[in-house]
Structure 1
């Protein structure tokens, strides 16, 4: 899934700063909320359900006008309604002033509305992709972009409209993200059992301190890794001697959660209590940069075993990366995952794979990390929020009786600690814009109005700002997410759909004279991802995504560097082996200088160990290293050929090379010597300019062959598609 905010400002640095600048709330606060911005999620005003956020479009850099509204992801327009021109007619329901009790006050509210359906992937179970559909809705647009009509396909970052007015406040939109029951279950990986009479299954809501009975989902895994540590978790004061589990020693004696975050080489471990409160945090410094050295650490733990017949470095690599082995490579059943963690009493070593430990990732939307579902409102057709769980979340713990006082509850909505908790609530409530139900949902307001004419004006406003032709699929999507949090959360996923891979892969290459050649259609690119030929295996798409996830190629700049390289290595996914007649590979034979560098020792090694994979590994030395990593031999003609005929191995062998490769230099004696950090991710993290792309290229092809005409332009293309730039910089040329 690739996803962006609806506004794309420039000039920010960190991810958090960018998202805050891209989705700014209105400056004005809602009355009676203690300072909460107008249009907050999931409740606002008089403690009423509010299914989205009001956002204020950022002003353009030159000070005139504001940023346009853009599609947050690839999708299809399922509803489009333009707004009429602004007027001052008091008889028009759109001139109602929602902020004033003065019946003569006139403001304007735009009612331009768009609903987009987004179908994408967030992972896979076996060969079956985990496909999800969610909706983004944009209300109060002053105008729609030209050509935005139902049925139109739109791309992420495409301009779809312009912010309008809400009760006279300009440059604003109401923005929401929602889905139905089936897709909620797939998005958060939690069973949706709407049967509150079944013990242990109170709907999709889960108690924060509930002991997890099993590991989290394995189809979708992204972001931080979260591990539940039961009281019996083995611990020790000193570094481990053995990496197999033993039955003696000390125990943790308390329930804890440990979160592992990998960030450009860093590994940060955060310890929480059973309620999710942070206790302590530490950054792993041994070895120096833990993520870049995962391959080395995994190999060392495998090598430490006296009997390694049931082990492989690849299995250990996944244990270190995910807290468990998601793949198919050997890992001892009694493997211990020792990591040094911080607790309230100091630092100690804990076995994160001990008995009773449970492993998750951000994809599980854990209650202990603040995520929970709220569908216990006994009167869902009433706009008032009567969810007891929501009230418990918001109320003042020092004033338990405030649970019954809507005024007191609403007054807490502006408190930072409450706003932080509300960001990860997922709430079930009917569509706000359905004309057939809107009067009923606001009927309770009538009882609070002093004059009959007040209700008549308000009812006219409700009907004028709602619609009677909304698509049923959108009306059925009653689970609503905090839009800012949804986007921030799923920007960590980056499991690419087939369509996204096609878009990232550049379709044309230019020759030295700037003339286009080797143009590949989108249909042909999909064919290469799906079907086998005599040069490649079938089902490359799924295997590629699994390998990118395994080896941490999940950040836009890392993905762009990978796609820039594989474009040259595979002819843009056309072939997964080095091409040429048998005689071509004589240059790799043991009696040649090149063959000796590749570690070839037997006649026929040149052809036997030809380049294979999406980043082609070549030579006996590389094939031997990969065999050791997987715990399987690829050292004869038949098994070596598997690296270009089985999609998983085709991609995984290249992933191994990506994280296990140190960049080498040639010294004065013409010998290869290590230079730099372990793994190509380190070099990819150095930047997105031409110098960084060349450094990555030299890790793969020391001569920089095809850099100017293929690797660099294909990197440029992928980087633009993946990032959040609204326009292509001047020095970028996309075909």
Structure 2
């Protein structure tokens, strides 16, 4: 699933703070206005959208590939130029994991009318053709009618319109919602709404790892079994403090630019959380060193151990690593100023990920029986306080009988707008509520306006004129969606930020990362059709196994490649040349071609071939083709399998999991070496260059130098560099947030 915010820069945003891995969303978060806060409006009714006002009066982009459900294009503004009623509603269908289809809708409301494009220097020709003219008659004093989508498709980053205004304020109203059926189909398989989540049992695991530690657990200054030098099986551990945690702990761990970061909260009896880490605790280069740690600490099966270190549990099935050998010692702050080691493999430590939407990470279902909205449809500030854990569950609400509706609205508005921590908590609300664009709910929602103290008290005509105007703005009747039903709403920026961590690509998204490349300078290779790429991803061929797509995604997730669009683009760039755009997973050539890999030949000796026939037996195989007995046996030791004979060596090109995982293994364990002269002996020797794993080199950027360095990890001679570069640039544009293709990207470190 590739998703991005509706406002995008001309070039990629970077951050010098690696603990903040999504600088784009950090920037877009600042665009949210303090009025119209999700999910409560100023009049205490549902407001299941967010008002976004970027600092530039620019284009609004589709957040993901989608299909147009409904839209309205206005020629002129309404309300004497103070309001814009233009909108686009999209339906998105994508994937987030093995068998996990996700369907949701995104709304972009208050888009600029056509007549004002020239005022801001906008070029409307960049919009899809159906948005070039009004969606209906442009009648003075009336809102332009909405139109039903007619199968129009849009791509992520397509321009849907330009930032408009409403009631004189420049902003866009943004919504993301799901129908009840789509919501249950996806979230029915997560732990959303579960009070005490258990360790996840599915392989759907992505984003940040998160887990809970019960109160009263023993933390150690060093892992059990360390020697006098603080080492366990040769791995050094920094000493902490021994002790126990008085309260249960919620822990979030994630990797960014090679480092591991940890946030910890203590959980009070009422469910409220207190952050124990003022800033994420950094363990520098921890991710780059995962392969080294796994091979040292989990001799019984380093591959499973690698997953324990990254995910806190083994995702591969069946698991090979024995239960008794799964100890995974992690340093956790368990009290203010104190951190110690605990074995997170223990059953009492519940392991989950962002894919599970656990309640202890702030996600709440707001529906019948768990809502701050009363039977009158209005939000009560005391009930809201309970849901954001700002008042004890047993505390009695403050009843002020003499308060008017205006006073109640002011009190709620002050509480929400004046407390940043409250607004952060509201971002985790997933609300079952009616749509404000469905006229079915109008009489129920706004009847209070006629009551004493209400805006239209004693003014029935004004109230009816208001409802008439409102119905002109509403558009539910053209969407084809059922009227009168409640939907499931998400804070749009929280939804986008969360699912950006998914890393899983649908087949269609994978196709676009592969199908267009240039083989040699100024010579274009015929682009592959979508059907041809999908065939290569799913169907078996003489030199390619079936079911590559699923296993490619699993390997990219396991080795942290898909955690970054930059890393994933570098992988696509390399497999462009290594596999001929996924056409073959085994090295071709006549038998005599492989003579150079026989023992006694320089190239054969370099890859550890020792027996006649090893040249063919251990030919290049995999997405990143590993070659030679040495690599095959090393990968076998890592997996606790055998790949070093005629019967098993071919598995790396015939078994789809091995084909992809062997390449991920190569990516994770690759150490670049540099030949230098020893100043004392004056002899030449190899020394490590950079950190362990190709992820280190991929993290350096997107310029020509970075592409060359990644290429040399895979092919030391740098062969087919032009093809690899073009494959990278094509994939990087598809994966990142930039609107200009082929621009260089170099992160600030």
Smaller-chain TM-score range?
0.7 to 0.9
- How far the C-alpha of 1:112 sits from its partner, in A, is 1.8
- How far the C-alpha of 1:713 sits from its partner, in A, is 0.9
> Residues 189 and 653 of structure 1: is their aligned pair in 2 closer, same or farther, counting only changes over 3 Å?
farther
- How far the C-alpha of 1:474 sits from its partner, in A, is 7.3
Task: Assess if the C-alpha contact under 8 Å between 2:380 and 2:412 holds in 1.
Answer: no
Q: Aligned pair count? A: 665
Task: Assess if the C-alpha contact under 8 Å between 2:712 and 2:718 holds in 1.
Answer: yes
- How far the C-alpha of 1:394 sits from its partner, in A, is 5.5
Q: Using the TM superposition, name which of 356-365 and 438-447 deviates more.
A: 438-447
Match of 1:348 in 2: 340
The reply on whether 1:553 has 2:561 as its aligned counterpart is yes
The reply on whether 1:364 has 2:363 as its aligned counterpart is no
Pick from 107, 115, 119: which aligns with 1:137? Answer: 107
> Residues 518 and 320 of structure 1: is their aligned pair in 2 closer, same or farther, counting only changes over 3 Å?
same
> Residues 504 and 601 of structure 1: is their aligned pair in 2 closer, same or farther, counting only changes over 3 Å?
same
> SS of the counterpart of 2:431?
strand
Query: Using the alignment, how far apart are the partners of 1:587 and 1:403 within structure 2?
Result: 87
Task: Assess if the C-alpha contact under 8 Å between 1:229 and 1:255 holds in 2.
Answer: yes
Match of 1:445 in 2: 449
- How far the C-alpha of 1:431 sits from its partner, in A, is 1.3
The reply on whether 1:679 has 2:649 as its aligned counterpart is no
Query: Using the alignment, how far apart are the partners of 1:294 and 1:675 within structure 2?
Result: 17
Match of 1:31 in 2: none
> Residues 670 and 571 of structure 1: is their aligned pair in 2 closer, same or farther, counting only changes over 3 Å?
farther
Task: Assess if the C-alpha contact under 8 Å between 1:9 and 1:58 holds in 2.
Answer: no
The reply on whether 1:223 has 2:207 as its aligned counterpart is yes
Query: Using the alignment, how far apart are the partners of 2:601 and 2:665 within structure 1?
Result: 26
The reply on whether 1:535 has 2:525 as its aligned counterpart is no
What are the ranges of 5 or more consecutive residues in structure 1 without an aligned counterpart? 28-36, 60-65, 88-94, 96-105, 193-203, 304-310
The reply on whether 1:152 has 2:152 as its aligned counterpart is yes
> SS of the counterpart of 2:276?
strand
- How far the C-alpha of 1:348 sits from its partner, in A, is 1.8
> SS of the counterpart of 1:177?
strand
Query: Using the alignment, how far apart are the partners of 1:50 and 1:112 within structure 2?
Result: 19
Task: Assess if the C-alpha contact under 8 Å between 2:178 and 2:489 holds in 1.
Answer: yes
Residue correspondence of structure 1 range 408-447 to structure 2 within 5 A: 408-414=411-417, 415-447=419-451
Residue correspondence of structure 1 range 636-715 to structure 2 within 5 A: 636-666=645-675, 673-708=687-722, 710-715=723-728
The reply on whether 1:240 has 2:204 as its aligned counterpart is no
> SS of the counterpart of 2:478?
coil
- How far the C-alpha of 1:250 sits from its partner, in A, is 8.4
Query: Using the alignment, how far apart are the partners of 1:38 and 1:116 within structure 2?
Result: 25
Match of 1:177 in 2: 176
- How far the C-alpha of 1:158 sits from its partner, in A, is 0.5
Task: Assess if the C-alpha contact under 8 Å between 1:403 and 1:409 holds in 2.
Answer: no
TM-score, structure 1 as length reference: 0.85
Task: Assess if the C-alpha contact under 8 Å between 2:519 and 2:720 holds in 1.
Answer: no
Task: Assess if the C-alpha contact under 8 Å between 1:5 and 1:23 holds in 2.
Answer: no
- How far the C-alpha of 1:666 sits from its partner, in A, is 4.2
Residue correspondence of structure 1 range 335-734 to structure 2 within 5 A: 335-344=326-335, 346-376=338-368, 377=371, 383-385=377-379, 390=384, 392-393=386-387, 397=391, 400-402=396-398, 406-407=408-409, 408-414=411-417, 415-447=419-451, 448=454, 449-450=456-457, 451-467=459-475, 469-473=477-481, 478-512=487-521, 514-554=522-562, 555-666=564-675, 673-708=687-722, 710-729=723-742
Query: Using the alignment, how far apart are the partners of 2:603 and 2:399 within structure 1?
Result: 76
After superposition, give the CA deviation of every residue in 1:273-324 in whole Å (9 maximum; x if it has no partner). 1343222477464xx6210010100100123xxxxxxx30001000000000
Match of 1:278 in 2: 275
Match of 2:133 in 1: none
> Residues 444 and 660 of structure 1: is their aligned pair in 2 closer, same or farther, counting only changes over 3 Å?
same
Query: Using the alignment, how far apart are the partners of 2:382 and 2:545 within structure 1?
Result: 54
Task: Assess if the C-alpha contact under 8 Å between 1:566 and 1:573 holds in 2.
Answer: yes
Task: Assess if the C-alpha contact under 8 Å between 1:396 and 1:402 holds in 2.
Answer: no
Query: Using the alignment, how far apart are the partners of 1:676 and 1:350 within structure 2?
Result: 31
Match of 2:308 in 1: 319
After superposition, give the CA deviation of every residue in 1:657-695 in whole Å (9 maximum; x if it has no partner). 000110123457787653221110011111111101100
- How far the C-alpha of 1:489 sits from its partner, in A, is 0.9
Pick from 314, 318, 321: which aligns with 1:331? Answer: 321
Task: Assess if the C-alpha contact under 8 Å between 1:2 and 1:496 holds in 2.
Answer: yes
Task: Assess if the C-alpha contact under 8 Å between 1:382 and 1:442 holds in 2.
Answer: no
Q: Using the TM superposition, name which of 611-620 and 39-48 deviates more.
A: 39-48
Task: Assess if the C-alpha contact under 8 Å between 2:223 and 2:342 holds in 1.
Answer: no
- How far the C-alpha of 1:453 sits from its partner, in A, is 3.3
Task: Assess if the C-alpha contact under 8 Å between 1:588 and 1:595 holds in 2.
Answer: yes
Task: Assess if the C-alpha contact under 8 Å between 1:268 and 1:283 holds in 2.
Answer: yes
After superposition, give the CA deviation of every residue in 1:471-501 in whole Å (9 maximum; x if it has no partner). 2447657110001111111111120111000
After superposition, give the CA deviation of every residue in 1:382-403 in whole Å (9 maximum; x if it has no partner). 6533698545236963995347
> Residues 132 and 219 of structure 1: is their aligned pair in 2 closer, same or farther, counting only changes over 3 Å?
farther
- How far the C-alpha of 1:157 sits from its partner, in A, is 0.1
> Residues 26 and 341 of structure 1: is their aligned pair in 2 closer, same or farther, counting only changes over 3 Å?
closer
- How far the C-alpha of 1:350 sits from its partner, in A, is 0.7
Q: Using the TM superposition, name which of 402-411 and 494-503 deviates more.
A: 402-411
After superposition, give the CA deviation of every residue in 1:626-683 in whole Å (9 maximum; x if it has no partner). 0000000111112110100111100000000000110123457787653221110011
After superposition, give the CA deviation of every residue in 1:145-178 in whole Å (9 maximum; x if it has no partner). 34235311111000112232212323x2211000
Query: Using the alignment, how far apart are the partners of 1:143 and 1:337 within structure 2?
Result: 58
> SS of the counterpart of 2:97?
strand
> SS of the counterpart of 2:67?
strand
> Residues 327 and 143 of structure 1: is their aligned pair in 2 closer, same or farther, counting only changes over 3 Å?
farther
- How far the C-alpha of 1:23 sits from its partner, in A, is 5.6
Query: Using the alignment, how far apart are the partners of 2:378 and 2:201 within structure 1?
Result: 35
Match of 1:119 in 2: 93
Task: Assess if the C-alpha contact under 8 Å between 2:88 and 2:109 holds in 1.
Answer: yes
Task: Assess if the C-alpha contact under 8 Å between 2:517 and 2:730 holds in 1.
Answer: no
Query: Using the alignment, how far apart are the partners of 1:660 and 1:268 within structure 2?
Result: 21
> Residues 10 and 518 of structure 1: is their aligned pair in 2 closer, same or farther, counting only changes over 3 Å?
closer
What are the ranges of 5 or more consecutive residues in structure 2 without an aligned counterpart? 16-20, 115-126, 131-148, 227-231, 234-241, 678-682
After superposition, give the CA deviation of every residue in 1:52-74 in whole Å (9 maximum; x if it has no partner). 11222442xxxxxx211111001
> Residues 268 and 165 of structure 1: is their aligned pair in 2 closer, same or farther, counting only changes over 3 Å?
closer
Match of 1:268 in 2: 261
User: Cα RMSD (Å) of the superposition?
Assistant: 2.8
The reply on whether 1:258 has 2:251 as its aligned counterpart is yes
The reply on whether 1:40 has 2:37 as its aligned counterpart is yes
Q: Using the TM superposition, name which of 476-485 and 322-331 deviates more.
A: 476-485
- How far the C-alpha of 1:260 sits from its partner, in A, is 1.4
TM-score, structure 2 as length reference: 0.83
Query: Using the alignment, how far apart are the partners of 2:446 and 2:280 within structure 1?
Result: 51
Task: Assess if the C-alpha contact under 8 Å between 2:702 and 2:744 holds in 1.
Answer: no
Query: Using the alignment, how far apart are the partners of 2:390 and 2:641 within structure 1?
Result: 60
Query: Using the alignment, how far apart are the partners of 2:311 and 2:415 within structure 1?
Result: 38
